[in-house]
Amino acid sequence: MKKAIILTTLLAVSTVSMAKGDDDHRHGGYHDGKAKTHQSQGFFDESLAVKSVADALKATDDTPALLEGQIVKQIDKDEFIFKDATGEIEIDVSKRAWNGLNIGPQDTIQIRGKVDNDWNKVQVDVKQITKK
């Protein structure tokens, strides 16, 4: 009987923690007003970084990226469409990259990360976001 009570308690606690999810705004994220919302440090050589979406789309895998523009659309929990004056690219934003910022489509931001050039898809893995 004791085992059944302990098991029931553990299941109830885990269900509550899973239900909480990541929808709080304490960690920042992209907020377009419609959808539910959702910094790493180290050496970053800006002279080697691509500075436009057009250049990022032509860059090789793992090229540093430093882009300025807007997030225009959320396509998944951590994937977005980023736009600058030269075009649009998909970005994959790590949870820590938001650094507590709340970003909307009207906000101009700077993203730091690296180009992820897969077989048929180019995106930027974002490690840091700053609001301009």
> Which pair of tokens denotes residue 87?
């075009």
Name the H helices within 2-131: 2-20, 53-58
Residues of the chain whose pLDDT is less than 50?
A: 16-18, 20, 22-24, 35-40
Q: CB–CB of 72/107 below 8 Å?
A: no
Half-sphere exposure of 55 (CA within 13 A, CB side): 14
Please identify which residue in the block is written with the tokens 């990541």: 22
Q: By three-state DSSP, how is residue 49 classified?
A: coil
pTM, rounded to two decimals: 0.69
Given the structure tokens 């930027």, which residue do they identify?
Answer: 124
Domains of the chain: 27-131 (2.40.50.200)
pLDDT 10s digits, 90-104: 999 999 999 999 999
